[in-house]
Amino acid sequence: MEIKYLILFFFCGSALCCDIAPAYWCDTEAIASQCGVLPACSDRLYPSYATEADPVVVGVYFECLCPDSIRFITNMLFPTWVKLRTTGVMKIMMVPYGKATMNRHGSGYNFTCQHGPQECEGNIIENCLLNETNYDEAKYLPVIQCMERSPQPVAAAEQCITRSGLNWTNINACASSVNGTMLMHKAGLATAALNPSLTWVPWITINGIHTDHIQSSAITDLLTLVCETYKGEKPRSCQHTKHGIGAYARRQRFSNKLYFRSRG
């Protein structure tokens, strides 16, 4: 190694700067840039950058008292997040509103929710929670999970929020003020902007896209859907998905068995 550096320093004073065998060009960033091959060397020089890709954004348009939303959040979204949360593969964007409607009322809005006034109250609390945690899923998702798996999601809010170390006083103040109304209104606008429009709750988007196929894959196996969508190097947690290496190996062993049995 030292010898290589010596060669580099020795030659770099002159026009013969890149007079070193191509096999060494990717050894260091300095040589690569002197030899004009930095982009080509990036895989070797910066392996982590080379495999980095944007996280898959999972949009969840839901209602806090809707049984299908509750089932999806508690049985699919949260467990998938637990598996992927340290990998940077998935980013969650939750929008608590669903099929609610709004009317202008004075300077604010009135909402009507599919599952009654309690659901509006819960959706507003969750909108305030999202804002209060700066939309950081590591902070808000455990609270939403705690609420949604409770038989009374709205009544459970205070305890779930406090137990997560968040400030109930602030979130409750937001939810009981015009701020909560404005946040809910914003969620309503985001929901109304969906294309195609929401006809089912929870409504799932992947990188902003919704199709029937995406929806049914998300509902049945979100982990596989996210892992297959992710363009970077797959983390270990992706290896046991339906189409992952684990399943592939099992299928392979099984077909090997059949193969040998049929010959045997």
Please give the residue ranges that form the binding site for ligand NAG (CB under 6 A). Answer: 103, 105, 110, 131-132, 134, 167, 169-170, 173-174, 177, 179, 182-183
Give the C-alpha distances (Å, rounded to integers) separating 96 from 60, 125, 254: 8, 9, 44
C-alpha 152/C-alpha 178 separation (Å) is: 24
Q: Give the residue with the Cβ less far from ligand NAG, 132 or 137.
A: 132
| Residue 21 Cβ vs ligand NAG, minimum distance, rounded to whole Å | 56
Cβ atoms 148, 170 nearer than 8 A: no
C-alpha 221/C-alpha 226 separation (Å) is: 9
Q: Give the residue with the Cβ less far from ligand NAG, 41 or 94.
A: 94
Across the strands, what pairs with 109?
104
Q: Give the residue with the Cβ less far from ligand NAG, 75 or 112.
A: 112
| Residue 6 Cβ vs ligand NAG, minimum distance, rounded to whole Å | 55
The closest of 164, 82, 123 to 131, measured between CA atoms, is: 123
Q: Give the residue with the Cβ less far from ligand NAG, 170 or 255.
A: 170
| Residue owning tokens 């608590």 | 96
| Residue 180 Cβ vs ligand NAG, minimum distance, rounded to whole Å | 7
> Which residues 6+ apart lie within 8 Å of 139 measured at CB?
133, 164, 166
C-alpha 171/C-alpha 132 separation (Å) is: 7
| Residue 182 Cβ vs ligand NAG, minimum distance, rounded to whole Å | 5
Q: At what angle do helices 117-132 and 137-148 cross, to 10 degrees?
A: 160
Q: Give the residue with the Cβ less far from ligand NAG, 182 or 219.
A: 182
Coil vs helix vs strand at 15: coil
| Residue 129 Cβ vs ligand NAG, minimum distance, rounded to whole Å | 10
| Residue 147 Cβ vs ligand NAG, minimum distance, rounded to whole Å | 19
Q: Give the residue with the Cβ less far from ligand NAG, 167 or 207.
A: 167
Q: ω before 117 within 30° of 0 (cis)?
A: no
